[in-house]
Structure 1
Amino acid sequence: MTILLLVSFVLFILTILLLEFFEGYHVKQVENDLTATVKKIAYIMEEHGNNEIGLEIAWEIADKPAHVMVLMDGKKTYFSPGTKKSEKIPLATVLKDKELMKTVTEDKMVKKEMSLMGSQSNESRYENIIIIGVPLHMKGHQTGAVYIYQSLGVIKETTQQTTRLILLSAGIAIILTTIFAFFLSTRITAPLRKMREAVFEVARGKFDTKVPILTHDEIGELATAFNQMGRQLKINLNALNQEKEQLSSILSSMADGVITFNRDGTVLITNPPAERFLQQWYYEQGENGDHAAPIRVLELLNKVIDTEMEQTGELMLQGRYYVVVVSPLYNQQNVRGAVAVVRDMSEERQLDKLRKDFIANVSHELRTPIAMLQGYSEAIIDDIASTEDEKKEIAKIIYDESLRMGRLVNELLDLARMEAGHISLNKEPVDFKPFLERVTNKFQGLAREKKIELTVSLKHEIEWFEFDPDRIEQVLTNLIDNAIRHTPEGGRVEVVQKNRTHGITIDVKDTGSGIPQEDLPFVFERFYKADKARTRGRSGTGLGLAIAKNIIDAHKGQISVQSKVGHGTTFSFFLPRTK
């Protein structure tokens, strides 16, 4: 439609201009021919004094359809032969027309278009003519004028033919333009429609969509560029998805929490550790909280936005210690937000506390025997012990304390090796009943001395079981010794063996003082002693249960404790079958 409207408008303007041009051109051409003819007639008549000869020559020069009229002395008129009566200009018309009379009165050539009124068969009519007059001089003075005129009907016919030809040409041009426009429109718009459909498909995410390349012109080049763009978009999108998945995997696998903030404190991105951190914060602040993150973190965020520098802080939440590092995120001009890395330092703090407690406990355990060794050694040096019995007693105390220090050091070394994973087990099939009775019989003397009943109970007899007998004997020795030491006179200690589907369970039960409820979770820790008031001479090092737990863990088993103050304690450990 655009092409048709444009071409139609151009053709319309061109047709108007051509019509105007050709109409004026024909009139001008006739005017020029008539002017040249009338000048020749006037010249010939002026050259020939004899009017008859001049008129004859003039009639020969004048061509149809022009008519010549000669006015002599303002009274006589002569017309070219063949001029009809209706085509003759009346003398009165010329004499009354001031414009035509200027050839006589003002001696100059005149041109004029006028209507000639004549009568033929008693009918009146008007006809448009063009008339040109020049003055006529005879014998040196003006004697009249020569007029030549011609009807404009011929010119109109010529103009009409020209108009028809121009309109025909314009119609043919419009028809051809319409055909060309539809052809061009089909050739251009058909690929563009397909390209538009392909663009919609790409907008829906189908980057494999291709536009057929039908031509090698600009549209074909556009189709080629579109297909290349689709392929490149797919490559870039796949690369972005891979980077996004990689970043998501990295964030999800991080042990530290990562929180991305906007400038106004809005949380944008979090990973699972950060979500747990925020959930703890939401739980702590309750339903009426109006902060998206802990206030300490938001304070660090504001400092980062103000100073554009990394900030570090600490906070405690739900009994856990966290270190928060907030770093700025930039756009092209300023800080657009920040990323906070939240690191849970609770285990590090606990390990640091355990390290300090370990050093304090070891120092505390060694201080008493060292002090006793130093004191009794000084007593020997200063000859405080006067008799041999006193010296032997002092020497025995020094010997016992040295053995105690040796046991402490050995147990520390064993525990360190076990916790480092360097424990080695020498498993072998063991006849369980004799093994259990042998270990228990070692304590029968101590039990009788304290008036305690020590028994062995086999709920389900088992002949052979595979384990490390030395290590399990160490565990049983520690448990039975603890049970006897914490059971008052008249009490009872029982060792019970039970079969399980996947192994065996050994229970060491006593009717002693029991362990307080708040101390039960810590009985397997190093240097932990539930009875803080008992004497150090018979209390042990506080490492036995920690060593026992490591031995059972090395056997892939479990050890547990149940106790109630005033009702006794039961230590149980489970050993799985190896086959």
Structure 2
Amino acid sequence: MSDRAVQKPIWAALVVPSAACGLALAPVAGWMFGPLAAATVFAVCLADAILLGWVVERFRRDASAQLRRPELRGEIGYQAGVFRPLLAEALLQIEELEQRAAVAAQAKTELEARVHLNRRRLRHFVGTIDATSEPVILTDASGRVLHANPAAGRLFRPEETAARKTGTLTESELSEIPPVVQAIRQVLDRPLGASRTVEFSVDGAAGVTHRAVVRPITDDDGQLLGTSVQIDDVQHETAERQRHAEFVSSVCHELKTPMASIRAYTELLRDGDAETDEERAELCSFIDSQVDRLTRLVNNMLNLARIQSGVVKVQRDDCELNDVLQPAIETVRHLAEEKNIRLLPELSDLYLAVHADKDLLRQAVINLLSNAVKYTPAGGEVRLRSRLAGDRCVIEVKDSGMGIPAECLPRLFERFYRVPRNNSAAAGTGLGLALVKYIVTDLHNGSITVQTEVDTGSTFTISLPFGHLDKLPRRDAAKKTIETT
């Protein structure tokens, strides 16, 4: 109640009785002493009431001010007179209420601070989930979706390319992938601590495209609150597994063929089917050729594996490109002469500066030249060119051989792949071009392309950055420095 509201009943209690007393005494004074006496009596009574009211109101205001200031409450007792015991009790009640109010205010402040902190933590938690590139879904204990980050929305709604802000996902959308819904239900029905992993595909894709890991969410008391669903795109992993399986299958096939031949020829020798020295020498020659085939296969596999795994340290130095190409020509020259194939070097007169591992780059060029010689008929020609094209050094290996069908080009640089129509022309492991591509693209930041026409020939083109290390573009030079350290 306000001071103005309290003031009204106090003035009414003092002024009204005094005014009534004055009205009662005024007629008596007027009868005894005249009208002037009656007016005087009424005025005195009214003034006394007003003065008394003013004094009481003054005391009330001082007491109210002292009650609001605990350090002044002791002075009230000396002024209260007969009301001292009652006022003391009132002061005790006031102090107790103040203490309760202070405790309540502190509790309210702590609760507000805790709520604010929890809200910040929740916003941080939700923001972290929404910023995750992998789809994440949170459900309650009944399996209803509580939150889904934008990545999950884009997974279930591929048409949404922009970042979603709401983080909502309906149960009907989630039900489009039954394995995930079933995994959530199994986790909710299982004992606490059990998780579930399922693999599935979306958009009608063939094979497995995603993996979902469903984990239970519990509170501090171990009560189940819901589940978290983390979905990973495993298409790359699935493709890697497929490539690994194909690699193992190809290795087994490549090893099995020469080993079967060796075994067959050995049995012929052991059974005495070769009656003459010439026949035995021919069988031994066949066995030797198959051993060579196995040796090439194993060496190529080891070289490729060592380079890719980093066992073979890449030593890149500033060098001149023609200094790398000339020894490669000499290495292959005797193979060309055996088949009566003209090996024609057409090297540039310019200084072609490159930053390369000379041994590895030379091996790549030797592989291309060897393939060109193997698949070129006798009397043909193989050309090795070097030239400068803008800011790139170009190496070309051109032959007049069998050529490559267009349908074989997409797989030409795969490990163990060989062009079917050319298999009978020469022996091979199918690893040479894969090794060339890795050396050029992965180790030298270059590129390799092929132009071919069946029964006319092929041209393999290698493009490398021009310049020594200190002349290369900044990003390229930094990458080369990292690779060589």
Give the TM bin, normalised by the shorter chain. 0.5 to 0.7
For structure 1, which segment, 372-381 or 460-469, has the greater mean C-alpha deviation from structure 2 after superposition?
460-469
- Give the alignment's TM-score, normalised by structure 1: 0.57
Q: 1:8: Cα distance to partner? A: 2.0
Tell me the equivalent position of 2:249: 360
Q: Secondary structure at the match of 1:379?
A: helix
Letter in 1 for 2:314: L
Tell me the equivalent position of 1:296: 177
Aligned counterpart in structure 1 of residue 395 of structure 2, from 506, 525, 536: 506
Tell me the equivalent position of 1:268: 147
CA distance in 2, matches of 1:506, 1:185: 102
Residue 257 of structure 1 pairs with residue 159 of structure 2: no
Residues 339-393 of structure 1 show CA distances to partners (whole Å, capped at 9, x for unaligned) of: 3211112222222222222221111011011111111111111111111111111
Tell me the equivalent position of 2:275: 386
Residues 418-445 of structure 1 show CA distances to partners (whole Å, capped at 9, x for unaligned) of: 1112222345665644652442344455
The 5 Å alignment of 1:76-475 reads 167-172=46-51, 175=54, 237=116, 241=120, 244-245=123-124, 248-249=127-128, 252=131, 254=132, 256-260=134-138, 268-270=147-149, 273-274=151-152, 276-280=154-158, 292-293=173-174, 295-296=176-177, 299-300=181-182, 303=185, 307=189, 312-317=197-202, 319=205, 321-327=209-215, 338-427=227-316, 432-433=321-322, 435-444=324-333, 446-447=335-336, 452-459=341-348, 461-462=350-351, 467-475=356-364
Tell me the equivalent position of 1:547: 435
CA distance in 2, matches of 1:12, 1:305: 76
Q: 1:471: Cα distance to partner? A: 1.9
Unaligned stretches of 5+ in structure 2? 69-96, 162-169, 471-485
Q: Secondary structure at the match of 1:422?
A: coil
- In structure 2, relative to structure 1, the CA distance for the partners of 1:162 and 1:266 (3 Å cut) is farther
- In structure 2, relative to structure 1, the CA distance for the partners of 1:465 and 1:375 (3 Å cut) is same
Q: Is the 8 A contact 1:557 1:573 kept in 2?
A: no
Q: 1:321: Cα distance to partner? A: 0.9
Whose helix fraction is larger, Structure 1's or Structure 2's? 2
CA distance in 1, matches of 2:50, 2:186: 78
Q: Secondary structure at the match of 2:274?
A: coil
Letter in 1 for 2:450: Q
Number of positions where the alignment pairs a residue of Structure 1 with one of Structure 2? 419
Residues 279-329 of structure 1 show CA distances to partners (whole Å, capped at 9, x for unaligned) of: 53769xxxxx99645611673487379748865432213546101234466
Whose strand fraction is larger, Structure 1's or Structure 2's? 1
Q: Is the 8 A contact 1:323 1:343 kept in 2?
A: yes
Letter in 1 for 2:231: V
Q: Secondary structure at the match of 1:399?
A: helix
Residue 572 of structure 1 pairs with residue 461 of structure 2: yes
CA distance in 2, matches of 1:177, 1:484: 125
Q: 1:173: Cα distance to partner? A: 5.5
The structure having more radius of gyration, on CA atoms, is 1
Tell me the equivalent position of 1:478: 367
- In structure 2, relative to structure 1, the CA distance for the partners of 1:305 and 1:473 (3 Å cut) is closer
CA distance in 2, matches of 1:279, 1:563: 42
Q: Secondary structure at the match of 1:393?
A: helix
Q: 1:496: Cα distance to partner? A: 2.0
Q: Is the 8 A contact 1:433 1:461 kept in 2?
A: no
> What percent identity do the matched residue pairs reach?
23
Q: Is the 8 A contact 1:7 1:174 kept in 2?
A: no
Q: Is the 8 A contact 2:183 2:198 kept in 1?
A: no
Q: 1:488: Cα distance to partner? A: 5.0
CA distance in 2, matches of 1:165, 1:306: 90
Residues 262-288 of structure 1 show CA distances to partners (whole Å, capped at 9, x for unaligned) of: 7796673415x54553453769xxxxx
Unaligned stretches of 5+ in structure 1? 27-126, 129-151, 190-217, 284-288
- Give the alignment's TM-score, normalised by structure 2: 0.66
Q: Is the 8 A contact 2:375 2:422 kept in 1?
A: no
Q: CA RMSD in A?
A: 5.3
Aligned counterpart in structure 2 of residue 557 of structure 1, from 433, 441, 445: 445
Q: 1:241: Cα distance to partner? A: 4.2
Higher RCO, 1 vs 2 (CA within 8 Å, ≥6 residues apart):
2
- In structure 2, relative to structure 1, the CA distance for the partners of 1:398 and 1:171 (3 Å cut) is same
Q: 1:160: Cα distance to partner? A: 9.6
Tell me the equivalent position of 2:478: none
Q: Secondary structure at the match of 1:295?
A: coil
Letter in 2 for 1:571: F
Q: Is the 8 A contact 1:322 1:345 kept in 2?
A: yes
Q: Is the 8 A contact 1:300 1:312 kept in 2?
A: no
Q: 1:497: Cα distance to partner? A: 1.0
